[in-house]
Amino acid sequence: MNDVAVLIGGKAGDGINSAGSMVAQLLNHIGYSVYVNFDYPSLIRGGHNFAIVRGSKSARSPGTCREKVDFILALDQATVEMHQNQQNPSSALLFTKGLVKADGQVVPVKEILVQENAPEIMGNSAFIGGFAKAAGISWETVEQVFHAHVPKGADLNLRVAQRAYDQLATVRPIPRCANPPRPLLTGNEAVGIGLVRGGLDAYVSYPMTPSSSLLHFLAGENTRFGITVVHPENEIAVILMALGFAAAGKRAAVGTSGGGFCLMTEGLSLAGMAELPVVILMSQRTGPSTGLPTYTGQSDLRFVLHAGQGEFPRLIVAPGDASEAILWSARAMELAWRCQLPAFILTDKTLSEGTYSVDLPSPDKPTSGDPVTWDRKGDYLRYADTPSGIPPLAFAGSPGAIVKVNSYAHDESGITTEDAAVVVRMVQKRMRKGQVLVTEIARYTVVDVSGIRDAATAILCWGSTRGVCEEAATSLGLRVVRPVVLTPFPLQQLKTALAGVTRLIAVEESSTAQLADLAQCNGIAVHDTILRFDGRPFTPEDLAGRIREVL
């Protein structure tokens, strides 16, 4: 068994996310690289929620879930009925006694809670214990996981879990493998760690799925990280407050999704004109409008490329998993400040809320490219027309400096002007910063090549589809080419990555193939597109089948 997959399902309010996280930790502790996908409707209670936990013997988190599962843990009847087509012939079914009618192993949750005088909220601990026994996971491992991840009430939860562990039988043992336990992080947590590595001082956000958990994560760790976390009244206040932090010399980031970012676009243009660095996590979900608030998509690329009135340079990075999210979130913060412009971290629900096994990447080595500060010689010009277009920084309160932040067309000192010659010169100055950004980006590998690296047929993809594309491509003998930076468009690196490719297939979770359009606008020929836009991520089986149809 190279892979194992566990599905746990029930209603909203049944604790599916926490139960899925505990199953993930069990697999993590017996040596599996883990990926977890959570599927839930936009309901506080009711509906059908489920999590699929996939463990792989590979040293890297799989980043995608297969269609079939080895275990189903059913907290209600709907789970059995809705997922029966996902069972293998040898799949094991565990279900709650009295709530589910099926053939499988019964977990007497209510009886166990009564016997231990435990609250109802601990019912899932019985399921975790029962699953561990059914999977042949040692009781010592169960104890380690509960003590590490259930700090409050671990002893009572363990007694509940042990009663189920002692009553069930081992029916589908999962062999241990060699990987050591590693941190399990959601994509949003990884973005937060990366921002902190990049020098984050303040995080400002209004909750909007699927970016919300980053607000919760950073608010819970603000003292440890030494940062300020603010939840204003709406998204307009969010972007303006972040720009206020930047004007005061504090590195700020915001988080939102498409609907919230709509309200931020005027503030984005303010950042462009006033040359204020800000990092924006834009986590995509299915649109337009409210759309499917808790499902995924890749349909906001054009929006982020062109948001805001007027013309100004920007950076857009699209990490493919949690490890890349750490690395590129830090780089986004550093480059935003080095070049004094807005930077986007473009993710989606799959990445933001998915859980990954992470080998924490080493921070980039220090460079000499830190933001240039005012040398206190002569009058301070906030918008000095330097050869690079990047002016030296000073902030309000700096001795001897008059610091003006202006959204109007302005001269070098920040004084409003409508003089044509000055306007032209300042536009050219701002656009030169984009050329500096191109040079900075060239220092990194910004186009990833994987799969069968010399294959003549390649998949072009971006963001969270990394894992599923690599899995399908490897099985079919294809190359995978994936730009991590989308603006400035890495044309030269992309051409190098596509050398020898005679057929290029774009795989995207949108209905209009937005990356394919961007590539073709830059002279890259895309021969076929495979698109999914129902809010659910591709599976390796589905994608491989559709690639075969195209080929």
- Do 41 and 161 belong together in one domain? yes
Mean pLDDT of all residues in 382-402: 94
Query: Can you name the residues that pair with 505 across neighbouring β-strands?
Result: 459, 528
Tens-place pLDDT, residues 448-460: 999 999 999 999 9
**Using 50, 70 and 90 to split pLDDT, how confident is the model at 367?**
low
Q: Write down the H helix ranges in 174-234.
A: 187-197, 212-220, 222-225
Mean pLDDT for all residues in the chain: 96
- Do 148 and 208 belong together in one domain? no
The rounded Cα 397 to chain-centroid distance in angstroms is 37
Mean pLDDT of all residues in 20-34: 97
Which positions ≥6 away from 521 have C-beta within 8 Å?
none
Check pLDDT > 90 for residue 153: no
Last residue of a domain, one of 138, 167, 196: 167
With beta carbons less than 8 A apart as the criterion, state whether 123 and 113 touch: yes
Q: Which helix (H) or strand (E) holds 238?
A: helix 235-247
Domain assignment of residue 373, yes or no: no
pLDDT score of 372: 87
- Do 278 and 317 belong together in one domain? yes
- Do 200 and 146 belong together in one domain? no
- Do 141 and 16 belong together in one domain? yes
Domain assignment of residue 403, yes or no: no
Last residue of a domain, one of 324, 357, 390: 357
With beta carbons less than 8 A apart as the criterion, state whether 87 and 68 touch: yes
Domain assignment of residue 179, yes or no: no
**The domain spanning residue 129 has which CATH number?**
3.40.920.10
- Do 90 and 188 belong together in one domain? no
- Do 453 and 352 belong together in one domain? no
With beta carbons less than 8 A apart as the criterion, state whether 65 and 24 touch: no
Mean pLDDT of all residues in 282-288: 97
Last residue of a domain, one of 322, 357, 392: 357
Check pLDDT > 80 for residue 424: yes
The angle formed by the CA atoms of residues 149, 150 and 156, to the nearest 5 degrees, is 145
**The domain spanning residue 307 has which CATH number?**
3.40.50.970
3-state secondary structure (DSSP) of residue 512: coil
Domain assignment of residue 401, yes or no: no
Domain assignment of residue 276, yes or no: yes
**The domain spanning residue 477 has which CATH number?**
3.40.50.920
- Do 141 and 245 belong together in one domain? no
Token output for 257: 């999704």
Which residue type sits at 245?
F
Check pLDDT > 60 for residue 2: yes
Domain assignment of residue 405, yes or no: no
Phi, psi of 53 (to 5 degrees): -105, 120
- Do 153 and 260 belong together in one domain? no
- Do 94 and 236 belong together in one domain? no
Tens-place pLDDT, residues 60-109: 999 999 999 999 999 999 999 999 999 999 999 999 999 999 999 999 99
Which positions ≥6 away from 529 have C-beta within 8 Å?
505, 506, 507, 508, 513, 516
Q: Is the dihedral of CA 329, 335, 340, 346 positive or negative?
A: negative
Check pLDDT > 80 for residue 252: yes
Domain assignment of residue 409, yes or no: no
Range of weakest confidence among 226-230, 368-372, 497-501:
368-372
- Do 306 and 160 belong together in one domain? no
C-alpha span between 119 and 147 (Å, rounded): 18
**Using 50, 70 and 90 to split pLDDT, how confident is the model at 366?**
low
C-alpha span between 314 and 311 (Å, rounded): 10
- Do 158 and 190 belong together in one domain? no
Tens-place pLDDT, residues 159-199: 999 999 999 999 999 999 989 999 999 999 999 999 999 99
Total domains in the chain come to 3
pLDDT score of 371: 86
Range of weakest confidence among 3-7, 226-230, 288-292, 371-375:
371-375
Domain assignment of residue 79, yes or no: yes
Tens-place pLDDT, residues 317-346: 999 999 999 999 999 999 999 999 999 999
Q: Can you give the residue range of the structural domain that contains 452?
A: 447-550
* CA-CA-CA-CA dihedral for 349, 351, 352, 353, to nearest 10: 80
